Each structure stands twice: as C-alpha cells, then as structure tokens.
Chains A and B, each alone.
Chain A
Amino acid sequence: MKDIKIALVGQPNVGKSMLVNSIANSHLHVGNFSGVTVDKTEVLFDHEGYHFTVVDLPGTYAFTDYTIEERVTHQYLTSGEYDLIINVMDSTNLVKNLQLTSELMSMGKNVVIALNMSDEAKKEGIDIDALRMSKLLGIPCIKVSAITKEGMGELLDALIATKELSTQNSKLVFSEPTEEEILNIEKYLAKHKHQSINSHRNIAINLLKNDKATYKLLHSDPIWTELQSIIVKGSKHIELHHNTDDVREAFAEEYLSFNKGVVEEVLTQVPSRKESSITTKIDNILINPIVGIPIFLFLMWGLFQLTFTIGSIPMDWIDGFFGWLGDTVGPLIKNDDLRSLVVDGIIAGVGAVLLFVPNIVILFIGIALLESTGYMSRVAFLLDGFFHKFGLHGQSFIPLVSGFGCSIPAYMSARILKNDRDRLLTLFIIGFMSCGAKLPVYVLLIGAFLPPEMAGNALFAIYISGAVLGLIAAKILKLTAFKGPEEPFVMEMPKYRLPSLKLVWHTVFTKTMMYVKKAGTFIAAASILIWFLSNYPHNATIDKEYESKIENAQSADMKKELANEMQSEHLEQSYLGTIGKFSEPFFAPLGFDWKMSVALQTGLAAKEVVVSTLGVLYAVGDDVDEQSNSLIGAISKNIPFASAVSFLVVIMIYLPCLAASIVFTREAGGVKYFVYLFVFTSSVAYGLGFIAYHIALRFSS
C-alpha cells in the first residue's frame, strides 16, 4: 500500500469540506489534528492500492497572511509535509479563484485542480473546457461536483497519476519586464549552481514578489548579499512598469491579466437567466434596512423555542431510560459500595449529561444552518454598524454566534479577526454567549421554577441578556484595556445555498459525538470523583444512631424523613461536604447552600458537570418514589427561587470549562490573558449574581 498525502487548498466556500466528504465516501474517518484543535482536519481512506490522507486546510483568498487562518494554511503549504495539492475551485467564479492558483503554482509542488460546483455552473450556462485549461496551465483540471459526485473517479485517477509524475512546470506567463527580471535571477542561480527542491524559475518569482518563506530559505546562503541587490533592482523595475510602489500589487495585476486570458480561452458563457437573481431577491428581504434585523431576531427566537419544545420530547425517554437502567443494574450488584458507585455515581452523573443531547443537537443544527446557507455573513453585514458602536467588528458576530454552540470553536473562529486587539476583545466576551453545555443547567433550573409554556421565552431571555451583558463588557473593555485603532471590515457575501443535509449532519454529528464522548470519559470520571468525595469518609456512628431511631419510628412517613436526614448528615461530613462548607461563607451573599457552591466549583471543569454534580448530590439525599425521582423535582424542592436566579447568573458569566480555558489561553497568546479573563469574568459573575439575588428576593417575598 502506497501513501499519498494531499493538501486541500481553496478559497472559502468553494466546497472543500464537502468535496473531501464526497471523495472519501463511506470509508470516512475524520479526526482532528491535535486534541481540541480544528485547525486542519485529516481524512483517511483507501483507493486502488493507495492509502490517501487528505488535509482539509482553512480557506484562504490569497497568501497575504492577513488572517491567522491564512497563516496556518500558508505555513502548512510551505512546510512541504505532503505530496501534492488539490486546488478546489468554484467553477462559477474562475477568475477570482485562479488568483490563488497563481500563487500555488510557484510553490514547487504538484497541483491538481478540482473544478467544483460544475452542477451549478451548468445551471448558470457556464461551460469550461477542462482539457484546454489543463494544457494552458500545465496542471490537470478535473470537473467535479461535490454534490452530485460527478468526476470523483477521474479526480482520484488524476491524483494518482500526478503523484507518480515528476515535478510539474509552472506555465504562468508574465509581462515582458517581469519575465526579464525572472530570467535574470534564474541565470544568477544557475551560475552559482544553487541547489534546491523548487525550480529556479519558481524561486525567482517568489523572490521578486517578496515571499517571506523563500527569503528565509536563502537568507543564510553566501550568495544572498549579491542576490539581494538583484532582487531589489528587479522588483523596482516591475513596480515602475506597473506604476505602483507595491510589488505585490504589481504581481496581483500580472496574475489577473494572465488569468483573464486563460478564462477567455476556456470558458464559454451561454446567456441564461440572470445567474444570481435568486440571491439578490433573497437579499432584498433579508438585508433590508428595515425588516432585516427584526427577521434575524425572530429567527433566533424561533431557534430557542424549538430547542425547548422539540428537545423536551426525547428528554423524557432518556430520563426514563436511565431511571430504568439504574433500577435494573442496581439489584445485580451485591456489594453496597460498588452498587452506589455504579448507580448513584456513574449512571446518575452520565445520565444527567446525556439527557441534554436533544437540546444540543437542535442548537447545533440551527448554527450549522446559519453557517451553511450563507445567512451568517448577512447578519454580520446588518450588525456591523451596531457592533462597531460597542468597539466590536461585524465579523465578531461569527465567533460570538458560534459561542452559543461551544466556546472552543468560537475561540478558534475569532481568528478571522486580524487585528490582535479586536481579536482579544472578542475572545474576552465570547464567554458571555452561553455555550451549549450551559444549556442543561438553564433547562434544569427553568424547568424547576417556571411553567413549561414560559420556558422557551425564559431561555431566549437568558441568551439575549448574556449577549447584551457581553456588549456592555466589550464597550467597557474597549474604552479601557483595548484602546486603539480598529480593524477594517471587508467580507465576502457568499451566494445563498440550500444547506446540504450531509454537511449539516456531518458537523452536527461530530460536534454531538464530541459532547457524548466527553460524557463518557471526562464526565464519567468527574462523576466518580464526585461520588467518592460525597460518600467518604463514611461515618458508621451516624448509621448506628439512625438505625435504632428508624426502627422505633411510628409511621412510614417518619421513617422516610429519618432516612433522608441520615443521608444528608452523611453528606455533610463527607469530603465534598467539607469543601462546600468551607467555601459556603464566600458564596453565602449569593444565596448558595454548600451543594450549589460545590456544583459551581466542579463546573470549572465543564458545565455539564454542574448538572451531574447536582444530580449526584441531590439524588443521594432523595427518595426513590415516582415524583421525586427526577432531578428537576429535587431542585425545585431544595433550592429557593432567589438562589436559583443568582446561580443562573453566575453560570451565565463565569468561565466556560477547562478545555475552553486552555484553547482561550492558546488563542489569546499567553497565560496572563487567562488570568485577566478569570479575574474579569469571576468578579462580574459574583457582582451580578449578588445583585440578581437581592432583586429576586424582593420579588419572591
């Protein structure tokens, strides 16, 4: 079995992810590079005796290294740890896509071009002569459609053929003065017998257009000083010819005229219905200055209503299932301690977390739809003016909305913001957008205190007030810690597309699996730990004391009451009780009892753990009759309304989870930022929790 490692490169939204899904077909194995990173995704599959590894790189318009995503892609491509490149293109916009191809052509790696979206091109009356294009560029060009799967076989054949091939030669042709300068440098390199993997012509092009990676490569070479003066002179000449002082602008213009020439030869456009008329029509409504924003708010509201109403149906089944599982497994285990570990620790803890899978799936579907239809950019366009007032950026909207799903991809998608200050600011307030893992806590508390018909609205209000708090926090930070010039706002408004079920399913599935996996590993472990801390040390004298009391009790009710009392006494003198008691005075101004204090602290590990902690803590002190079986019942019985409100406020604002904190630290670029974030969010959470508690006290009394 031979290995082929392929880098998948293309501009954003050309269908890279979709294509990789289609090529790999059923033997798909998607895995992330390193732990939580979603930088580059690797897909592995086998075909005709070859073992393929495809690396799906973040989309880039050009190698200007303007955004971090562009930097990631550029770095990977210059690292050379792959055999060849698939350059994915949108067939309906060749000229623009070829700009990136031109840059790829001087990298010295074999390229195969996938002319994707050929189904859409056909509809728009565009016909591309792929054979002629292959000849002109010296690169195999294959018409494909990731949706209809047309051309997949040919693409794979071309990949194998190109892998076996020696190096391709770039057929880029430049204007006369540029060619002259390229030749000049080429000759110089040849004269000095310069050894390199890349061709001399490519090196010359890269040097002239100021490519940093190539500079670095030659920097320590003895010929460098002499070469440098030739480069500087050459670049000046080219700049003069283009009447600019920016050689990269000159090269962009060179590429453009070459690409226009190519497209003229290979593309025939049959006049057809106005191609983008549908997008224009939809835009007339969705980004209408008057109704645009109300429509957006309505859609968001709808999403939260759905999350609650549809989500609650399978929740009952899941709840029932874990209740049944506990009842069935329990009697099979003879050892008391072990049974308690399995039933009260693992099953109760993991069950409490899995209970919220339906809600999370719906939320993820909503966000995936926003992203894949092209609506997300419209919202960024609509809201930029508004966001700008708070010192944010229209594109901050994208990480902020992703923050409603999970903070980790949100932190990572903040990379689209180039300016470090803007990015940091966005990173700091992503936590205010309640992530999917906080949802279970909200659902639990809302369910415990409000009638079902209010639940959707309450949830919407929580999310909105989180977002508003975030904006206020942004403004304050912008005026104090993050003063300075802003980042420009330039963004593509992609065509509207019907969401591909497969792609939505794929993203929702992977994200949900991540959640479930967390429940199975991390949270199961945390549940065991919490179970242990809440059951030990076991004080036998309490048992003795109550045993006789219970025996002597008159009625069944008395017996039950005494049993509960005994269990809560056990809990109080357990390790967890000790921790909770120790921190209770600190949280007392917020109205938390020690159980809530503990849940809050375990929640630093992950928000799902808050629910499982409450599950373990309250399940232990609870009876097993039908009504009080569910955690929601236990909460409404044991937690006063005002305390629940302040608990909710604190959950809304404080740190999302350990994994997110790690990603934050990495994305922000230092531990000191994490310390700032911790102090900032914790003090805001504490302050607002305190205020909320006292307001709620007024209302409930």
Chain B
Amino acid sequence: MKTLSECKIDHKVKVLKLNASKELKQRLISFGIMRGTTAEILKYAPGRSTMEIKVGKMKIALRTQEANLIEVETI
C-alpha cells in the first residue's frame, strides 16, 4: 500500500482510505481530503517534514506524519 507521504512532487493521486483516528479523519474530511478525491503533490518544505498538496481548488499543508495515514494510488 502506498501512502501520500511517499509520493513525488507533481504526482496526481486518488485517496483510497484514511487510516486516521476519528477526529483527524473529520479534520481531513472538512478540508476535502476524503475517499475518492484526487490530490496533487505540490511541494515539500525544507527538511521534508511538511508537504503541500492540492485537493480540488484548495491548497493544503500537512505534515508527512499525517500524510502517512492517507492511503493513495497514483493516477
């Protein structure tokens, strides 16, 4: 299984599953990160500890730690 944190810049992926706790899942969903949506990897911050993705029209920053909980497939 591949997770979001393993993706390279400019890749487009489809979200398959959120392996997060209920609370974090709600948070991700409220940002539009949910099953079936597509995301594009935009940038990594210095040190690769944080990444920027684009979901729909919104740009979202998240830590690779959390991105690790998002199962994806490349499209």
Contact = CB atoms under 8 A, between A and B. Distances in A.
Interface string A230-256: 000000000000000010110011001
Nearest to A488: B66
A490 B62 contact: yes
Nearest to B33: A490
Contacts, number: 116
Contacts of A381: 45, 50, 52, 61
A493 B30 contact: no
Contact of A61 (B22, B30, B43, B46): B30
B59 interface: yes
Given A92-B57, A96-B32, A490-B31, A287 B63 contact: no
B62 A249 contact: no
A494 B31 CA distance: 12
A256 B57 contact: no
Interface residues of A, number: 40
B59 A490 contact: no
Contacts of B27: 64, 66, 488, 490
A61 B31 contact: yes
A253 B34 contact: yes
Nearest to A248: B26
Given A249-B18, A252-B29, A491-B62, 9 more contacts: A62-B26, A95-B56, A99-B32, A253-B34, A381-B50, A384-B50, A394-B50, A488-B20, A489-B66
A380 interface: yes
B50 A489 contact: yes
A492 B45 contact: no
Interface in A483-504: 488-494
A489 B31 CA distance: 12
Contact of A377 (B29, B36, B61): B61
A385 B45 CA distance: 8
Contacts of A93: 56-58
A103 to B, nearest CB: 10
B interface, how many residues as a size bin?
A: 35 or more
6 contacts: A249-B35, A289-B46, A292-B46, A380-B61, A394-B50, A494-B59
Nearest to B48: A385
Contacts of A253: 34-36
Contact of A490 (B34, B46, B49, B60): B60
Interface of A: 61-62, 64, 66, 92-93, 95-96, 99, 246, 248-249, 252-253, 256, 275-276, 279, 283, 287, 289-290, 292-293, 377, 380-382, 384-386, 388, 394, 488-494
Nearest to A67: B27
Given A93-B57, A385-B49, A252 B34 contact: yes
B43 A249 contact: no
A95 B36 CA distance: 15
Contacts of A276: 57
Contacts of A492: 31, 58-61
A493 B60 contact: yes
A380 B50 CA distance: 10
Contact of A293 (B18, B46, B48): B46
Contacts of B74: none
A147 B62 CA distance: 31
Nearest to A100: B30
Contacts of A246: 22, 25
Contacts of B61: 377, 380-381, 384, 394, 489-493
Contacts of B48: 385
Contact of A249 (B23, B29, B56, B59): B29
A604 to B, nearest CB: 39
Nearest to A63: B30
Interface string B33-75: 0111000001111111110100011111111011000000000
Given A248-B26, A287-B52, A492-B59, A382 B66 contact: no
B7 interface: no
Contacts of B31: 61, 490, 492
Contacts of A388: 49, 63
Nearest to B29: A252
